[in-house]
Amino acid sequence: MANLKDIRRRIKSVNNTAQITKAMQMVAAAKMKKAQDQALAGREYADKLNLVLTNLKSNMEGLSHPYLEVREEGKHLVLVISTDKGLCGGINTNLLKKVRAEITDAAEYSTVGKKLKEQLVKTDETIVEDFTLDDPIPFDEVKPIAKHLTDQYLSGTYNKVSVCFTNFVSTLVQEPHVSQLLPVDPSKLAEKRDYEGVGKGNVGETDTAAALEKEYTFEPDANSVLSALLPQYITFQIYQMVVEARASEHSARMVAMKAATDNANDLAKDLKLEYNKLRQAAITAELLEITTAMKALE
């Protein structure tokens, strides 16, 4: 049976923990709001981009671009977007599981975020490049990542580039997701990701009818529009994915910290009860001793 002093010490430490997790929860909540807003702000851009791409797609025959070429030779390059810090529930573990399940061919990795980089290094995977991103993520910081991926692809070493990230569905649900970045699949071009995550955060067709209603002239011509557009499309895709991943991270952390705070408070309550019981027992015992002693003296 624990003595009073031990219990008092435990209560104190549990309360301290609760205080810390509570603080982390609040910080995560604030950051979550920002990250979610950022993920939503990209939607306007995405919609417009999709509209143009859908239209371009219908004129696609005869258009060529290195990003569209499907090659046989080469390895698979995978960009894994994880978090820098832990204490954010299972999102990194789930993402790693997804990576293991989906990436079965000979692949090499580039990473954003320390957590899964460490894991991949442990299992002797080849890490090509590692990136760190500020919080909130400035658009310009995504450009080096896009450049790295496209350069590697164009160099011929790799014939496929995929991105693994945690798609933000809602504050409570985040889904690990693998999507192919390069070569760009024209049939999947302009598919819309469900940013708000109604449903399962899956992709669906853009409103093609509305897009095709307008017959655009491409200035100077469709091919140069395509070659100007595709790199921007790639960069934007990556941006959207890291922003999604960031929103997921903060949401997961907030939820995890809320659970931790609740648990700590429950534990503190139980300990307090036990402490009071013991204290009462001790007082009773003491009183008994005194009364017995008095009785003996009479």
Partner 1 sequence: MIKLDIVTPEKKVFSGEVADVYLPTETGEIGVLETHTAMVTPLIPGELRYAKDGKVHALAIGTGFAEVDQISISVLTDMAVSAEEVDEVQAEEDKKAAEKALESLDHNDDAEEIAQLQASIGKSIAQIQLKRR
Question: What residues are annotated to the active site?
Answer: 88
Residue closest to 177 by CA, chosen among 244, 118, 130, 121? 244
Backbone angles phi, psi at 158, to 5 degrees: -120, 145
Residue type, 179: S
Decide if 236 contacts 46 (C-beta within 8 A): yes
Residue 41 touches partner 1, criterion: CB under 8 A: yes
Residues binding partner 1: number (CB under 8 A) = 36
Q: Which of residues 21-40 bind partner 1 (CB under 8 A)?
A: 38
Residue 80 touches partner 1, criterion: CB under 8 A: no
Residue 204 touches partner 1, criterion: CB under 8 A: no
CB of 65 to partner 1, least distance (A): 12
Q: Which of residues 238-277 bind partner 1 (CB under 8 A)?
A: 239-240
CB of 176 to partner 1, least distance (A): 23
- Binding segment for partner 1 (CB under 8 A), chosen from 11-19, 28-36, 139-147, 178-186, is 139-147
Q: Show Cβ contacts of residue 79 under 8 Å, excluding neighbours closer than 6 positions.
A: 109, 110, 111, 112, 145, 149, 161, 162, 163, 164, 181, 238
What is the separation of C-alpha 279 from the centre of its chain, rounded to a whole number of angstroms?
48
Measured from the CB atom, the residue of 221 and 286 that comes closer to partner 1 is 221
Dihedral of CA 190/196/197/198: which sign?
negative
- Binding segment for partner 1 (CB under 8 A), chosen from 80-88, 91-99, 145-153, 192-200, is 145-153
Measured from the CB atom, the residue of 7 and 112 that comes closer to partner 1 is 112
Residue 181 touches partner 1, criterion: CB under 8 A: no
Decide if 15 contacts 268 (C-beta within 8 A): yes
**Candidate list 51, 95, 161, 252; residue touching partner 1; CB under 8 A:** 51
- Distances, alpha carbon 117 to alpha carbons 68, 78, 110, 121, 272, in Å: 29, 12, 8, 6, 42
**Residues near partner 1, by CB under 8 A:** 38, 41-42, 44-45, 48-49, 51-52, 55-56, 138-140, 143, 147, 150-151, 154, 214-220, 224-225, 228-229, 231-232, 235-236, 239-240
